[in-house]
Amino acid sequence: QSALTQPASVSGSPGQSITISCTGTSSDVGGYNYVSWYQQHPGKAPKLMIYEVSNRPSGVSNRFSGSKSGNTASLTISGLQAEDEADYYCSSYTSSSTNVVFGGGTKLTVL
Amino acid sequence: EVQLVESGGGLVQPGGSLRLSCAASGFTFSSYWMSWVRQAPGKGLEWVANIKQDGSEKYYVDSVKGRFTISRDNAKNSLYLQMNSLRAEDTAVYYCARLVAVAGTLSYWGQGTLVTVSS
């Protein structure tokens, strides 16, 4: 099963905004409004940050937002803070029996 | 508070077997699909398997089909992954996660358990 495509790394300075893209196909990202984003700090478990393209779970900062256009979803983090430095993974529902497909992950560095 | 606690990882030789467990609490376990997801050292996340609420449907990534079996015991609020014929490439941290199946959303994750396949 093919992974979704994410940039390997992005960086930004405190206070700035960054956007991470996640490109799939019409069988996953483009076909459903079921894209999720996960944050993972080193040595820790992933944490759900965005679900169903643009919804935030309770307790997640409103600095995190999600969107989608065609086969590409995006995660935007505004007002970057040092604690945002982490790996970010997108995932999507897929019509195949795998049900869940992940992106390769993006390392966010806060300069 | 939702809690998922994995156990059972360790060092195993190639061709060996291991059974992972995941103890769930803080929610009605029998009402949710559950998943196993793994992460090889320094690599990204890889979905491994899903199981329906009553265990009647199970799905696996191609690389583990015929070797791994996902199961659950709703009376014990527990999820399992039986891993047979283990290979070096199965070395990873294995996470259990609660799945919103209709959306493919993994809403809660355990802390993970490390499986190392090496001679």
Interval B101-115: pLDDT, tens: 788 899 999 999 999
Q: Closest partner residue to B59 among A93, A97, A105, by Cβ?
A: A97
C-alpha dihedral sign at B88, B89, B95, B99: negative
B108 touches chain A (CB under 8 A): yes
Tokens 């992974």 -> residue: A3
Chain B, residues 8-37, CB within 8 A of chain A, namely 35, 37
Instruction: Please give the angle made by the CA atoms of A20, A34 and B106, to the nearest 5 degrees.
Output: 85
Give me the residue from B46, B95, B101 closest to A45, CB to CB. B95
Q: Under an 8 Å CB criterion, which residues of A touch B?
A: 1, 3, 32, 34, 36, 38, 44-48, 51-52, 57, 89, 91-94, 97-105
Residue B66 — very low, low, confident or very high, per pLDDT cuts 50/70/90?
very high
User: What is A5-22 written as a DSSP string?
Assistant: B--SEEEE-TT--EEEEE
Which residues in chain A have Cβ-Cβ distances shorter than 8 Å to B44? Answer: 3, 89, 102-105
**β-strand B113-117 against B10-12: which pairing, if any?**
parallel
pLDDT digit string, tens, across residues A63-77: 999 999 999 999 999
pLDDT band at residue A97 using 50, 70 and 90 as cut-offs = low
Structure confidence by residue, pLDDT tens digits, A11-52? 999 999 999 999 999 989 999 999 999 999 999 999 999 999
